[in-house]
Amino acid sequence: MPLTFERLSPALGARVHGMDLREPLDAASHTALHQGLLEHKVLFLRDQLLTPRQQRDVAAHFGDLHIHPIYPKHPEQPEILVLDTELNDLRDNALWHTDVTFIQTPPLGSLLSARQVPAYGGDTLWASNSAAYAALSAPLRGLLDGLSAWHDLSKSFPLERFGQTPEGLQRFNAARAANPPVRHPVVRVHPETGVKGLFVSAGFTTRIVELEEAESEALLQLLFAHAARPEFQVRWQWQAGDLAFWDNRITQHYACDDYRPQRRVMHRATILGDRPRGPGEQG
Ligand SMILES: O=C(O)CCC(=O)C(=O)O
Ligand SMILES: [Fe+2]
């Protein structure tokens, strides 16, 4: 079957046909996947029940992998993060966020593999941050281009859910100590395409540095609501064996919390990226 990308919505998202990631990734497939990712921002592949090792190996073609400071890791493969409703309360992912923006070099992207899915519910939504940016008025874009914001891990990992056991609390405190808030541009220039996108999200962004507190709060609320408009989204209904690969530099996502108490298990490999650059900065 030839390799094709089937577009799923106007803003972003495509289904990939004709690729089997259980086979070693050759140079042509790697290039096609990379180009597809830049063009569509999130790719979906069905019937790819990869082993944790295979998933890690595919992800490692795209960069160094991140090991999450809080979420559990796969026992055989520490680069694979395990999102299992029987291990963790995962409702905190039902919030629009770009992954791991609380570090200096946030992920380039992630590969998320569905292992066990509920009979219904548990969809994930992605939104294009470049579509959101482009839909703002020119004066507001001009203001945002010169701003920066703080991103803080503790905004998405509340102590009530991640610090309740002694081990959990120890991990939580170590994660906070190792990850003090970081500052990123409010508008990021995509390092490969040069396209501008919003780079704030409800998950981790706490404060716009250059503004007064009340101004920052009001503007962030406006941007969070704007970025979550359905026009900028694609929604994926999972089957076990599905794999999603998203460009985390120009998207945010939301894991729908509508399926409990059914079990849901996902494996994620997270590829580190570069330091986000704003419109005024040189490469
Ligand atoms: O469980 C999901 O569908 C997505 C969770 C999430 O936010 C992530 O894997 O980054
Ligand atoms: Fe996420």
Centre of ligand 1 to C-alpha 210, Å, is 31
Per the residue annotation, which of 56, 66, 97, 115 is the catalytic one?
Answer: 97
- Protein residue with its CA nearest to atom 10 in ligand 1: 99
Q: Which residues contact 244 (CB under 8 A, 6 or more apart)?
A: 42, 43, 44, 45, 111, 112, 124, 236
Centre of ligand 1 to C-alpha 188, Å, is 22
Specify whether 229 is catalytic.
no
What's the mean per-residue pLDDT of the chain? 95
Note the pLDDT of residue 78.
94
- From CA 276, how far away is CA 273, in angstroms rounded? 9
> Which atom of ligand 1 lies nearest, measured to the CA of 123?
3
Specify whether 268 is catalytic.
yes
- From CA 43, how far away is CA 8, in angstroms rounded? 10
For the residues 217-221, what does the mean pLDDT come to? 98
Ligand 1 residue neighbourhood (C-beta within 6 Å)? 83, 93, 99, 110, 112, 124, 253, 255, 266, 268
Does the pTM surpass 0.95? The reply is yes
pLDDT at 283 over 60: no
234, 253, 256, best to mutate for ligand 1 pocket (most atoms within 8 Å of CB)? 253
Decide if 165 contacts 55 (C-beta within 8 A).
no
For the residues 44-56, what does the mean pLDDT come to? 97
For the residues 69-97, what does the mean pLDDT come to? 92
Among left, alpha and beta (phi > 0; psi -120 to 50; other), residue 211 is: beta
Note the pLDDT of residue 158.
79
> Which atom of ligand 1 lies nearest, measured to the CA of 256?
3
* Residue position matching structure tokens 């998320």: 112
Note the pLDDT of residue 69.
87
Note the pLDDT of residue 161.
77
For the residues 117-121, what does the mean pLDDT come to? 97
Model confidence at 282, pLDDT cuts 50, 70, 90, reads low
Decide if 244 contacts 124 (C-beta within 8 A).
yes
Specify whether 99 is catalytic.
yes
* Residue position matching structure tokens 């996502």: 253
At 177 the three-state DSSP class reads helix
Among residues 122, 275, 114, the alpha carbon closest in space to that of 199 is found at 275
CA neighbours closer than 13 Å in the CB half-sphere of residue 121: 11
What are the helix (H) ranges across the chain? Answer: 27-40, 52-60, 129-134, 138-145, 159-162, 166-178, 213-227
Specify whether 30 is catalytic.
no
Angle at CA 256, nearest 5°, toward 97 and 174?
45
* Residue position matching structure tokens 């994660």: 175
Omega before 261 within 30 of 0, i.e. cis: yes
